[in-house]
Amino acid sequence: MKQNPKPFWRSKSLTEMSLEEWESLCDGCGKCCLHKIEDEDTGELFFTRVSCRLLDIKTCRCGEYARRTQAVADCLDLRKDFQAFNWLPSTCAYRLLAEGDELPAWHPLVSGDAHSVRDAGACVSGFAISETQVDDILDHVIEDLN
């Protein structure tokens, strides 16, 4: 009996993945599009519920994905800047794989369902607010993002 081959995310490193494989790792949660605040003294990161202006909060997708790094000065292209994943949420596939962990059961590549992220409550659509609606980002720090 022939064994099923391992999924690409278990058999390849992040640097070995094709662009299509890399992009499919994004679960569409929108958490990486939330603004973070770093304590300059300790280096500790604090997440906020404030999203980038380009994020469509309802769908958790970037409205200008192809040109996001030109449209937003501090937006990172993870494929180019993936050396330090500590600023990504602990549920992020890129961070999980970089740290040698498994993808969660609700990840679309595991579940086979594009809506499993939302169904699991793992996306920002229920609590995020656009930066265009915020006066003081410090009023929107959240305790737990995961």
Count Cβ atoms below 10 Å from residue 134 Cβ, excluding itself: 16
Sign of CA dihedral 15, 67, 54, 58: negative
Per residue of the chain (146 residues), what is the pLDDT tens digit? Answer: 566 689 999 999 999 999 999 999 999 999 999 999 989 999 888 999 999 999 999 999 999 998 998 999 888 888 876 666 778 888 999 999 999 999 999 999 999 999 999 999 999 998 999 999 999 999 999 987 76
**Rounded-to-integer distance, Cα 136 and Cα 134, Å:** 6
Would you list the domain boundaries of the chain? 18-140
**Rounded-to-integer distance, Cα 35 and Cα 28, Å:** 16
The SS3 assignment for 79 reads coil
> What pLDDT, on a 0 to 100 scale, did the predictor assign at position 68?
92
Cβ neighbors of 81 (< 8 A, separation 6 or more) are: none
Q: Which two tokens stand for residue 41?
A: 């003294």
User: Tell me: the pLDDT tens digits for 64-97?
Assistant: 998 998 999 888 888 876 666 778 888 999 999 9
> What pLDDT, on a 0 to 100 scale, did the predictor assign at position 45?
87
> What pLDDT, on a 0 to 100 scale, did the predictor assign at position 109?
97
Residue 62, strand partner residues: 55
Residue 85: DSSP 8-state: -
> What pLDDT, on a 0 to 100 scale, did the predictor assign at position 102?
95
Give the torsion through C-alpha atoms of 13, 14, 18, 23, to 10 deg. Answer: 140
- The pTM assigned to this predicted structure is 0.87
